[in-house]
Amino acid sequence: MSTTLTSVEAMAQAIVAAHRHTLALPLAPGAVAPAPASDDPVFVAALQAAHALGFIDADALCVARAWAHRARRTGQLDAAHWPDEPADFGIAPHPREHAFAPCPEIGLYAVMPDADWTIRMARAGVPTVQLRFKSGDAQAIRAEVRATVAGVQGTGARLFINDHWQEAIDAGAYGVHLGQEDLQAMTPEGLSAIRQAGLRLGLSTHGYAEMLLADAHHPSYIAMGAVFPTTLKQMATAPQGTGRLRAYAALLRDTTHMAIGGIDLHNLPEVLNAGVRSVGVVRALMAEPDLDAAVARWTAALQPGTH
C-alpha cells in the first residue's frame, strides 16, 4: 500500500464517504485533528477520517488503532467496513479471570432518584432498577440504600446502587453502578471489595475510549450513551445517535450491554434496530400516570421479534 500523502488523503476520504450518514456528528468549534502518533498510512488516514466524522480525540485514536490493526491482520483496507472486531481494539476474549460476577440480559432498566421511586419501579415489574441518590449526607445515603434494598425484596428486581459502593455491599444490593468520574476516583481496593462481595458492576461509557477503559475492568455490563438528547443531566459528550450505537453494540457483542439517554417508546425501535436489547429509562417512566400499564408496554416492546 502506497505511503504517499495522496493515498492517505484518498483513504481518509473513502472512510468518511462510507460512514458519513451513519456515524458523523458535528465537529466542535475550533477542533483540530490530533497529531498522529504513527507513520502507518492506514492509522494516519483513519485518524483523519475519525476526526472529520466528529469523534473526540480519544475516540479517534482508538478507531485509528483498530483500523491499522485490522489492515495489518487482513492485508487490506476495507473502507466500507467500520472496525468491529474486539481483538482489533485490544479487547480480551471471554471468559476472563478476575471478572465481576455476570448478570443476565438487563432488559428494561429504571434509573431512579430515590428509594420510593426505585421501589415503585421494582413493584411494577421492572426487572432491573438503579438507585441514583445524590446527597452529601452519609446518614441519608445509608438510610436510602437500606430502605431500597429492603423495599425491592420479593419483587425479583435486580437492584444496582449508583456510586455508593460500600453502602451497597453492607446492605446486600445486587450490584453497583459507576459513572466514569466515579470509576476514576475508585481505588483498586474498592473495586476488589465489590468483586469479592459478589456484587455485579455496571459502568457508564460515552464513546470508544471510555468503553475500552470500562472493559479493562471486566464489568458485569457496560452502559452506552447518551443515545439521544436528554435534559436530566449535563452531558460532557454530544448525543451519540443510533448509528454510533450500532457500532458500539457490535464491538461489545460478547459483553452484556445496554443503551441509555433520551430513550422513549417512540424512538425505542431505532435503538432495537441498532442491535441493543436492554435500555435504561428515567423520564419516560416517571412521567407515566399508569406505571403498571407503562411497564407492560415497555416489556412487550423489548421482546425479541417485536420490531
Nearest to 182 by CA among 198, 197, 194, 196: 194
In a domain, 146, yes or no: yes
Three cell numbers written together for 67: 483500523
235-240's contacts with Cβ under 8 Å and 24+ in sequence apart are 235/206, 235/261, 236/206, 237/56, 237/206, 237/207, 238/25, 238/26, 238/54, 240/25, 240/206, 240/207
224 and 112 inside one domain: yes
Tally of domains within the chain: 2
Q: How does residue 3 score in pLDDT terms, banded at 50, 70 and 90?
A: very low
Does pLDDT of 306 surpass 70? Answer: no
Structural domain boundaries enclosing 168: 108-301
40 and 13 inside one domain: yes
| 224-252 per-position pLDDT tens digit | 999 999 876 666 678 999 999 999 999 99
- pTM assigned to the model: 0.94
| 40-71 per-position pLDDT tens digit | 999 999 999 999 999 999 999 999 999 999 99
Three cell numbers written together for 95: 471468559
Does pLDDT of 35 surpass 90? Answer: no
Does pLDDT of 4 surpass 60? Answer: no
189 and 131 inside one domain: yes
Say how far apart CA 192 and CA 188 lie, in whole Å.
6
- What is residue 31's predicted lDDT score, i.e. its pLDDT? 85
83 and 127 inside one domain: no
Three cell numbers written together for 85: 472486531
Alpha helices in the chain, H assignment, sequence order: 5-23, 41-52, 57-74, 115-123, 138-152, 165-171, 180-185, 188-196, 208-215, 241-251, 268-273, 283-286, 291-301
Mean pLDDT, rounded, of the chain: 94
Three cell numbers written together for 160: 444496582
| 114-157 per-position pLDDT tens digit | 999 999 999 999 999 999 999 999 999 999 999 999 999 999 99
**Residues 115/151, Cβ–Cβ less than 8 Å:** yes
61 and 118 inside one domain: no
216 and 264 inside one domain: yes
DSSP secondary structure code for residue 164 in this structure: -
Q: Residue 221 in 3-state DSSP?
A: strand
**Mean pLDDT score, 102-114:** 95
Three cell numbers written together for 109: 432498566
Does pLDDT of 2 surpass 70? Answer: no
